[in-house]
Amino acid sequence: MTDLTELGVKPIRDGVAAGTFTAREVAEAFNANVAAASELNAFIVATPEKALEAADAVDADRAAGKPLGLMAGVPIGMKDLFATRGVQTTAASHILEGFTPEYESTVSQKLWDAGAGMLGKLNLDQFAMGSSNETSYFGNVISPWRRSDGGNADLAPGGSSGGSSAAVSARLAPAATGTDTGGSIRQPAAFTGICGIKPTYGRCSRWGIVAFASSLDQAGPMARSVEDCAIMLEAMAGFDPKDSTSLDLPVPNWSEMLDADLRGKKIGIPHEYRMDGTDEEILASWDQGIAWLKDAGAEVVDISLPHTKYALPAYYIVAPAEASSNLARYDGVRYGLRELPEGANLQDMYAATRSAGFGDEVKRRILIGTYVLSAGFYDAYYTQAMKVRTLVQRDFEKAWAQCDLVLAPTTPTASFGLGDKSDDPLAMYLNDVFAVPASLAGLPAMSVPAGLNSHGLPLGLQLIGRAFEEQEVLNAGLAIEQRAGFTAKPEKWW
């Protein structure tokens, strides 16, 4: 029999439906891989029983001749930012360790309703704050990739969805959920040679997802192919009255309408994205991507996104400001960690709980956010940052008069060694320089593997589309995927 863990979402779903293998056989195979890969630290909690329970339900439905869901028989990893009823949900933070929700997030419930099963809760940067998965209270996730030119240095799987990217790349799961606030689906996907799409803001409900920055957070799928991402996004998306920012729009059949023929499409190449410090091999892969899209029939045009250089600093004002507000609820009173020193008053308890419960990066962003929202600095920082955000949005609106999509690198470098940038927050923040503009504008954006660099590490290309035009992004992603022919995978060392 084929190694079931080498199969993606569509072949698993179709194989289960056809009776080629059972959903239980698939779940058992992936459960075994999860159990054997503890060294990667991709999972905070494994839930093999949940995967088997869902698989048995799918097998029973098939035997009874009942219609099967969009994700029937597909076991997935769930980023530990999504509330899961009866299963610990921590956001990778000590302050939520042991918290077991009595409710299910909308996105995860949609996936279970579609027939998916849960392999476990995936590790991440604490409260989704980080670009290397080094801020988790539960330890670093280690990328399954190694440099081909020697050395066994542990590499970053990207962040914040590093557990998701590592699990999919290492064949611990055929797909996983991620969330993207400023690149946290796209950057880890690029680092580990998989696909990941951040849909238009509002496509997927945020209800039941632990909040970081509410005007930016958006859930999306991470998988090994564009088609698998399209299928999973169909299952995840949809209007939710419990989320006031949810889009009341029908969910298209993205997977059925995939088409790599780009004739009549114009692809914009923003010259502002050719930034100093970008790896030359990244720029070469960008040029290769341009050639691939031309080959697919697209016309390539030069465009300008003039406020790009201000996007990253604006993001690192807006996002911490929203985080400082969202994280105020973790006070030791209602749920999660409580530190109560002897003789302490209420204020002392707040301080002790938050000091012990939050990691350094989370504290850093809370302090920044509190500072920029304070009375003397609100207009100087937060108001200015929101104005810049509007200018970034307008840049894209003007660009759409010239093109249908934007092609850019996903990241300025390939994956780096764990510890290489952890002492320099600014160097770490620069990882998001190409990803943040689409987040500020709320646009759909996807990373697709483009090849390997000279060290044998994956590189990703990013496609950004108009609001609500996930189909165009997926189609262009498919065109790149077909021409890149990316089949590389990490050699098992764990």
Indicate the pTM of the whole model. Answer: 0.96
pLDDT in tens, the chain (494 residues): 579 999 999 999 999 999 999 999 999 999 999 999 999 999 999 999 999 999 999 999 999 999 999 999 999 999 999 999 999 999 999 999 999 999 999 999 999 999 999 999 999 999 999 999 999 999 999 999 999 987 789 999 999 999 999 999 999 999 999 999 999 999 999 999 999 999 999 999 999 999 999 999 999 999 999 999 999 999 999 999 999 999 999 999 999 999 999 999 999 999 999 998 899 999 999 999 999 999 999 999 999 999 999 999 999 999 999 999 999 999 999 888 999 999 999 999 999 999 999 999 999 999 999 999 999 899 999 999 999 999 999 999 999 999 999 999 999 999 999 999 888 888 898 889 999 999 999 999 999 999 999 999 999 999 999 999 999 999 999 999 999 999 999 999 99
> What is the three-state SS of the chain?
CCCHHHCCHHHHHHHHHHCCCCHHHHHHHHHHHHHHCHHHCCEEEECHHHHHHHHHHHHHHHHCCCCCCCCCCCEEEEECCECECCECCCCCCHHHCCCCCCCCCHHHHHHHHCCCEEEEEECCCHHHCCCCCCCCCCCCCCCCCCCCCCCCCCECCCCCCHHHHHHHHCCCCCEEEEEECCCCCHHHHHHHCCEEEECCCCCCCCCCECCCCCCCCEEEEEECCHHHHHHHHHHHCCCCCCCCCCCCCCCCCCCCCCCCCCCCCEEEEEHHHCCCCCCHHHHHHHHHHHHHHHHCCCEEEEECCCCHHHHHHHHHHHHHHHHHHHHHHCCCCCCCCCCCCCCCCHHHHHHHHHHHHCCHHHHHHHHHHHHHHCCCCHHHHHHHHHHHHHHHHHHHHHHCCCCCEEEEECCCCCCCECCCCCCCHHHHHHHHCCCHHHHHHCCCEEEEEEEECCCCCEEEEEEEECCCCHHHHHHHHHHHHHHHCCCCCCCCCC
- 479 in a domain, yes or no? no
Catalytic residues: 79, 160, 184
- 223 in a domain, yes or no? yes
- 166 in a domain, yes or no? yes
- 157 in a domain, yes or no? yes
- 141 in a domain, yes or no? yes
In CATH, what number is assigned to the domain containing residue 226? 3.90.1300.10
Q: Which domain holds residue 142?
A: 4-259
Q: Domain count of the chain? A: 1
- 63 in a domain, yes or no? yes
- 388 in a domain, yes or no? no
- 412 in a domain, yes or no? no
